[in-house]
């Protein structure tokens, strides 16, 4: 079976490794000329760490990560509102991993290059594709060779992010991603401590008035993932008073810009002066998602990760769900004789649940807890807050019993999997 993956990010690389693990190989087309370890932090939930461990990446991932054991919600002054355990302390067999996105991508790229030499084609941009009764012709431009190339494939997987070119060709009238009016100021700071060094902190309330921080291991030198050191990954959310078109652009910002936005924040246990002094790579992003789709798969073409279900960053689910998508699509392709049927099975398993998750994140996801406590003027029944958190986890089967006891996607079964109706 010939498979082309568009996108050499985390989701595309995990898909290539997952396909290789079930005896299938793919070509990964990445428009960037080089894949460098850039970016900021992400959290991988135990459900994703389990899948990467089954690919033989668990130890390397833990070595490159901080494994947080606690999530703490607090108000703008740092007063505690609610907390829960994470990873192994919460009863999972696998940890949660807070990892630098570029470090994770570099780790995955090394494994793809070792296990599937020549699979990643950089500097190759998608031009379009055409399907017929037996497969798909994928047309691309190879910048290094300065020529157009065509790949004949049985399956095309669009793993090319929120502005997916594959998705744009399947849904040409969709238009740009949707902005909720919130800016995310993101960066890394060195030389600043956060509680016990293994806590994810969410301070403040609704989107646009929130501060998130957690420790990661980051490249000591930009672009070099061979040496890692401790850093604090942080996100400050703000709302511009009069949104304009240019607010939708990703912008590099200065420490002075950040200092102005941090006025009024006094999280007692976090040294904001130290955070500012050690801040680097400050970038402002608009918070974007897209409406859930009625279909991901069209014949031999499907979508995966942020190309399929971009969502607001609530509940630490974006990267996690991309990893699980990759494992499920590989499982389905390995056990089906008809690639189109395999993509239908993959979508049946994943799309209904992920569409619900996109909608839940628009309603704040688990961060409804902060809003509820704020509305009550502080304090709320702990059992009710636990129910909110557990209900959100149940959307993606991310409770400890779900993750620990789920059948492995590494073992293709003889019968089609039932549709996910829960």
Average pLDDT of the residues of the chain: 91
pLDDT of residue 374: 62
pLDDT of residue 225: 87
Mean pLDDT of 185-197: 96
Per the model's pLDDT, the better-predicted residue between 373 and 314 turns out to be: 314
pLDDT of residue 242: 77
Among the ranges given (186-200, 235-249, 255-269, 367-381), the one the predictor scored with the smallest mean pLDDT: 367-381
Mean pLDDT of 411-421: 45
Instruction: Give the CA diameter of the chain.
Output: 64
- Which residue's entry shows tokens 């089906």? 336
Query: Residue ranges per domain, the chain?
Result: 2-66+101-176+291-364
pLDDT of residue 370: 66
**Strands, E, within 239-278: which ranges?**
251-252
Per the model's pLDDT, the better-predicted residue between 14 and 242 turns out to be: 14
Contact 21, 408 (CB under 8 A): no
pLDDT of residue 415: 38
Which residue from 228, 208, 221, 193 is spatially nearest to 281, judged by alpha carbons?
221
pLDDT of residue 273: 94
Q: How far apart are CA 366 and CA 59, in angstroms?
A: 29
2-66+101-176+291-364: CATH class: alpha beta
Per the model's pLDDT, the better-predicted residue between 377 and 177 turns out to be: 177
Residue % of the chain over a pLDDT of 70? 91
pLDDT tens digits, one per residue of 59-99 = 999 999 999 999 998 888 888 888 899 999 999 999 999 99
Mean pLDDT of 299-318: 95
Residue 43 in this model has a pLDDT that exceeds 70: yes
Model pTM score: 0.93
pLDDT of residue 416: 37
Residue 380 in this model has a pLDDT that exceeds 80: no
pLDDT tens digits, one per residue of 321-369 = 999 999 999 999 999 899 999 999 999 999 999 999 999 999 876 666 6
Which residue from 133, 66, 72 is spatially nearest to 103, judged by alpha carbons?
66
Please enumerate in sequence order all residues whose Cβ is within 8 A of that of 159, keeping only pairs 6 or more positions apart, or say none: 5, 6, 7, 9, 11, 12, 15, 303, 304, 305, 307, 322, 326
Residue 29 in this model has a pLDDT that exceeds 60: yes
Buried b (16+ CB within 10 A) or exposed e, 144-170: eeeeeeebebbbbbbbbbbebbbbbeb
């Amino acid at each position: 079976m010939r498979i082309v993956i568009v996108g050499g990010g985390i989701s595309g690389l995990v898909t290539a490794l997952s396909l290789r693990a079930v005896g299938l190989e793919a070509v990964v087309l990445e428009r960037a000329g080089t894949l460098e370890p850039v970016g900021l932090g992400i959290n991988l939930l135990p459900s994703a760490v389990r899948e990467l461990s089954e690919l033989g990446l668990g130890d390397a991932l833990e070595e490159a990560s901080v494994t947080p054991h606690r999530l703490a919600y607090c108000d703008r002054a740092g007063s505690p509102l609610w907390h829960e355990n994470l990873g192994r302390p919460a009863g999972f067999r696998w940890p949660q991993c807070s990892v630098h996105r570029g470090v994770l991508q570099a780790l995955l790229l090394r494994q793809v290059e070792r296990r599937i030499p020549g699979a990643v084609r950089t500097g190759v941009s998608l031009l379009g594709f055409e399907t017929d009764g037996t497969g798909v012709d994928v047309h691309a431009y190879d910048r290094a060779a300065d020529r157009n190339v065509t790949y004949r494939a049985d399956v095309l997987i669009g793993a090319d992010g929120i502005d997916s070119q594959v998705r744009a060709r399947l849904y040409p009238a969709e238009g740009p991603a949707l902005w909720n009016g919130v800016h995310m100021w993101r960066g890394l700071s060195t030389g600043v401590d956060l509680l016990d060094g293994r806590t994810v902190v969410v301070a403040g309330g609704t989107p646009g008035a929130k501060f998130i921080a957690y420790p990661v291991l980051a490249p000591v030198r930009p672009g070099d993932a061979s040496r890692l050191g401790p850093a604090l990954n942080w996100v400050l959310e703000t709302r511009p008073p009069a949104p304009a078109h240019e607010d939708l652009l990703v912008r590099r910002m200065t420490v002075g810009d950040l200092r102005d936005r941090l006025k009024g924040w006094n999280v007692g246990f976090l040294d904001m002066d130290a955070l500012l002094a050690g801040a680097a790579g400050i970038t402002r992003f608009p918070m974007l998602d897209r409406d859930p789709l009625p279909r991901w798969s069209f014949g031999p073409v499907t979508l995966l990760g942020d190309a399929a279900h971009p969502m607001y960053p609530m509940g630490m689910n974006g990267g996690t769900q991309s990893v699980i998508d990759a494992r499920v699509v590989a499982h389905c392709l390995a056990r089906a004789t008809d690639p189109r049927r395999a993509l239908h099975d993959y979508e049946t398993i994943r799309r209904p649940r992920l569409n619900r998750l996109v909608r839940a994140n628009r309603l704040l996801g688990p961060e409804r807890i902060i809003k509820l406590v704020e509305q009550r003027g502080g304090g709320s029944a702990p059992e009710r807050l636990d129910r909110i958190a557990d209900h959100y986890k149940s959307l993606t089967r991310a409770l400890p019993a779900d993750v620990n006891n789920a059948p492995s996607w590494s073992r293709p079964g003889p019968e089609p999997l039932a549709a996910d109706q829960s």
